[in-house]
Each structure stands twice: as structure tokens, then as C-alpha cells.
Amino acid sequence: MNSWKEAKKIYHQIEIPSQLTQTVEEALSHAADSLHNQKRRHQWTRGAIYALAGLCAAFIFSVNVNSAFANTLYDIPIVGNIARVFTFREFQEKDDFKYIDVKMPALEHTGKTNLESRINYEIRYQIDRIIKEVEVRAKEYYDAFIATGGKKSEFIPIEVFVDYQVTCSNADLVSFYITKSESFASAYTEQFFFNVDLNSGKDLTLQDLLGSDYEKTANEEILRQMKQRHQEDPNIIYWGQDGDTEKNIPGFEGISEDQNFYINEKGNVVITFEKYSIGPGSIGIQEFEIPTDYGN
Amino acid sequence: MLDQESLEHVRQILTEYIISHQESFYRLAFSYCKNQEAALDIIQEAILKAFSHLSSLKDPNLIRPWFYRILVNESLTYLRKNKRLIPMLEEEMIPSTFNHPDLSTSITLCQEIDRLEEKLKTIIILRFFEDMKLEEIASVTNSNLNTVKSRLYRALKILKQSIEEESG
């Protein structure tokens, strides 16, 4: 749209009143004057914040250590010596700001202690990080709600769900992902993917699975499927591809170095893109199955 | 926490930044409230807030998104407090010297931008009129990149639709 250029001109023609400079100067000098008083006030606030932070830390610590906090501690009888991903712990936490529901997986029976502790540590680390992040954001959100005249009783706490899905599990590899979703903010959905080679104990890369040409292979296949999906359903559009009339939003530009993917039950690589990352929200999370002949 | 010396340094940077960008601040504030007095008040409030929250500016390189975030918040707070005043002042964004027929689409575009809900309007103004990167906008609006992309998409769609309706 060429009218954008003109619109920008019009915007920049908004008349600047002569009082602006004076207003800004007054504000600046006022800010300088009040600095002294403000310092004292800040010190008090900071003390309160530290106390609060201490409480939060104690809370998170107890969630992770005290098993009484955890509603369910799974104890499943051993079924053969097959490596598997199982629900290690489930817990819910609720306060005025938030409701968190977590199903935490763990990997076991791989015969490799290092591998298990690496993966299980990573899982725990990510879930802890999610909880802390929600904690902070929920509080900020609550404060902003109250500060703008909201009533305490009308505040709807942020709801967060953490769950996992095992997509492939056999003698050679295990693939699963953790999903964090939120009740009314789908943009905060996050997924973490784990693809483990049980023989080497290492993470599987796209290069391991698709060969040295993996980038080309994946990109071509993704573009082909995008085209196909758009042809089959014109409502499915990808930014920067056929049917995108905006051409203003950066879309798919090839798989990234830390591309998200999992392995499905057929052993095929499935490349996934977060909602909004390659197209409008209406198309949701997009997945592309790439034929894979790894291990055959 | 910043020590005394670097705090003083950041104060200096902020002061200079505000003085040299005051006109952009004014345009942004004005495009929300459509009223000169109010826009000046918003800027004054934003400056005071900025100095009293100086310690939340972790990296002086991020001063632009940081200050715009305060400015946008102040503008929205003003709007919430003064909801009923706005309709009377609606046409003021367009200077009368621009009532030229060739510019009609652009003027329509400006008017349609004005009618967008605030969240979407913020993104359009920052992206197209202030030339901010999507990453910066995400930080101004305290949301993530994908949220910004989705709002940008929604806004462009609405604008396109309403302009088509207008001209067709």
C-alpha cells in the first residue's frame, strides 16, 4: 500500500505546540528535584520486595523438595527393562494471582545414569523456569489490574498447564515434548522437545536424522507442503507465501539452527512451528512431517 | 542494582534522549488522546515515571523501547480515565491543510488507524510511523514477538477491509 508513505507524512505533520519544550524542561527539573525524596522511598520498597522474593523462593523450594506438597508421587511397578518416559510427579498450585497445573515427566530405564540425569535435570529446569516466570508475570498483571482501577474480587488468576506427550519410544530412541499453555493467552504457549538417541546417549539432531543435506531436504519439503495446504484450503496462508496479501510480516525463511521437531511413531521427523511464527494465529501450530529413513 | 556513578550516567543519557525525541513523544501521545493539553500532561507524567523507575532500565541501549513503554502506558491510563471525553475530539488528528483529494486514501487510512482498538493502533503507529522493529515493539508492549505479529496481522486486515468498504 503506497498510502502508508502518505499516512506517515500526515502523522509527522501533527502540529507540535510551542509549549512542548517548556513542558519537557519542567518535567525534567521536577524529576531532578524529587530524586532525593524518592531515594528514601525506594529503599523501603526494595526491602519489601526482597522479603517478598524470599517468600517466593521458599515456596518454589518447597514445591520441589517436599513431597507432601506434590499431590501425587507416581510409583509405577517396573515393566521390563525398556527405557520410557513416565509421569514423575503431578502437582497443582493456586493463589490469588495464578493457578498452575503441572504434569512433570522423567526418563528412566535407559541403563545410562548420566543421560537420565541430564534429561531429567533439563525437564526440571524448564518447569521451574516456567513457574518462576508465571509467578512474576501474574503478580505484575495483578498489580497493573489493581493500579488501573480493577477490583481485587474481579481479578481472574492466570491459569497455566504443563503437560507432555511421548511421540516415539523404542529400543533406539525416545522422543517427547513438554507443552506449557495458558488459559486466555495462547501466545504464551511454549513447547520443549526432547529427542534422545538411547545408544549414544546424545540428543538427536536433524542432521543425524535427515543426513547432511538436512536443511535443503527439510526446507523443500516444508515449502511443498505449505503450497499444498494453501491449495487445498485457501484459508490457510503463510506469511510471505502464495495468498499472503500483506507482505509486511516476516514468515518462514528456512529452518532455524535450534528448530523445534519431534519424531513420530513411524520414525519420521516432524518439524513444528509455534503459533504466529510463520502465519496468522488462525492456522495455529503448524507441523510438517518429513520422510525419514534413519536407522533403516 | 546500579551504583551511584552509573545511575548518574543513565540519568544523563535519559535526559538527552528525552530532549532530542520530545516531538516523537508528542505525536504518539497526541494520536491517543487527540488533545494538546492532555498530550502534554501525558508526556510530563511519562518523564516523571521514567526518572523514578530509572533502575528498571537495565541496558541504556534499550532506552527507546523502555521509554516508549512508559509513554504508551501513560497514554492508555489517560484514555481509561477520560473515556467519555474522546468522541468530541475525534477529527483532530488530520490537519486541515491535508484536505486535498489526492490524499484521500491516506487520510482515510489515518482515520481508520484512529478507530483501531488501542492495542492494534499502538503496533501500527510504532511499526509504520516510528519505524520500530517488531522485536522493539514486543518490548514496548510487554508481549512476545508472536503476539506482535498476530496483532499486526489483525490490524492490517481490519484496515484493509475498512478502506475497501470506504472506497467501494
List domains and CATH numbers for chain B: 1-87 (1.10.1740.10), 93-168 (1.10.10.10)
Q: Is the dihedral of CA A26, A31, A32, A36 positive or negative?
A: positive
With contacts defined as CB-CB under 8 Å, which chain A residues touch B47?
A: 24, 27-28, 31
Size of interface A-B (CB pairs under 8 A): 122
Q: For A215-268, how does the pLDDT look when each residue is reduced to its tens digit (9 = 90+)?
A: 999 999 999 999 999 999 988 989 888 878 777 788 898 999 889 999 999 999
Mutate to test the interface with A, among B67, B91, B150 (most CBs of A within 10 A): B150
With contacts defined as CB-CB under 8 Å, which chain A residues touch B146?
A: 187, 274-277
Q: What was the pLDDT predicted at B50?
A: 92
Q: Is A77 in CB contact (< 8 Å) with chain B?
A: no
| Grid coordinates belonging to B58 | 537495565
Q: For A26-77, how does the pLDDT look when each residue is reduced to its tens digit (9 = 90+)?
A: 888 888 766 544 443 333 333 344 444 444 444 444 444 444 433 333 433 3
Q: What was the pLDDT predicted at A263?
A: 95
Going along chain A from its start, the domains and CATH numbers come out as 3-197 (3.30.565.40), 206-290 (3.90.640.20)
Instruction: Name the residue of chain A whose CA is nearest to B128's CA.
Output: A8
Q: Is A53 in CB contact (< 8 Å) with chain B?
A: no
Q: Is B55 in CB contact (< 8 Å) with chain A?
A: yes
Share of chain A above pLDDT 90, in %: 32
Task: Check CB contact under 8 Å for B51 and A31.
Answer: yes
Q: Is B152 in CB contact (< 8 Å) with chain A?
A: yes
Higher pLDDT, A269 or A154: A269
**Rounded to the nearest 10 degrees, how much is the dihedral formed by the CA atoms of B63, B67, A150, A42?**
70
Q: What was the pLDDT predicted at A19?
A: 87
Q: For A70-99, how does the pLDDT look when each residue is reduced to its tens digit (9 = 90+)?
A: 333 343 333 444 668 888 888 888 888 888
Interface of A with B in 165-194 (CB under 8 A): 187-188
The nearest CA of chain A is from the CA of B59 a distance in Å of: 20
Q: For B98-136, how does the pLDDT look when each residue is reduced to its tens digit (9 = 90+)?
A: 444 445 667 778 888 888 988 899 999 999 999 999 999
Query: Which of B19, B17, B68, B47 lies closest to A35, judged by CA?
Result: B47
What average pLDDT does chain A have?
80
CB-closest option in B44, B48, B153 to A280: B153
Q: Tell me the sheet residues that pair with A165.
A: A177
CB-closest option in A38, A148, A277 to B77: A148
Q: Is B7 in CB contact (< 8 Å) with chain A?
A: no
- Beta-sheet strands, E only, within chain A: 72-73, 84-94, 98-108, 158-169, 173-182, 190-197, 261-263, 269-273, 286-290
Please report which confidence band the pLDDT of residue B83 belongs to, taking 50, 70 and 90 as the band edges: low
CA distances from A117 to A62, A109, A129, A294 (A): 21, 12, 18, 26
Residues 6+ apart with CB under 8 A from B101: none
The nearest CA of chain A is from the CA of B53 a distance in Å of: 10
With contacts defined as CB-CB under 8 Å, which chain B residues touch A188?
A: 144
Q: What was the pLDDT predicted at A238?
A: 92
Task: Check CB contact under 8 Å for A31 and B152.
Answer: no
Q: Is B54 in CB contact (< 8 Å) with chain A?
A: no
A114 three-class SS: helix
How big is the CA angle at B114 (ends B62 and A251), to the nearest 5 degrees? 55
Mutate to test the interface with A, among B20, B72, B129, B160 (most CBs of A within 10 A): B129
| Grid coordinates belonging to A47 | 526491602
Phi-psi region of A107 (alpha: psi -120 to 50; beta: other; left: phi over 0): beta
Q: Is A248 in CB contact (< 8 Å) with chain B?
A: yes
The nearest CA of chain A is from the CA of B66 a distance in Å of: 16
Q: Is A40 in CB contact (< 8 Å) with chain B?
A: no
Q: Is A114 in CB contact (< 8 Å) with chain B?
A: no
Instruction: Name the residue of chain A whose CA is nearest to B18's CA.
Output: A24
Q: What was the pLDDT predicted at B10?
A: 87
The nearest CA of chain A is from the CA of B108 a distance in Å of: 9
Hey, what amino acid is at A236?
I
Q: For B12-25, how does the pLDDT look when each residue is reduced to its tens digit (9 = 90+)?
A: 899 989 999 999 99
Task: Check CB contact under 8 Å for A26 and B125.
Answer: no
| Grid coordinates belonging to A266 | 513411524
CB-closest option in B18, B27, B157 to A24: B18
- Comparing A99-113, A141-155, B42-56, B66-80, which segment has the lowest mean pLDDT? A141-155
Asked if A102 contacts A91 with a C-beta cutoff of 8 angstroms, the reply is: yes
Q: What was the pLDDT predicted at B90?
A: 43
| Whether pLDDT at A207 is above 70 | yes
Asked if B23 contacts B70 with a C-beta cutoff of 8 angstroms, the reply is: no
Share of chain B above pLDDT 90, in %: 38
Q: What was the pLDDT predicted at A51?
A: 44
Q: What was the pLDDT predicted at A2?
A: 65
Q: What was the pLDDT predicted at B168?
A: 55
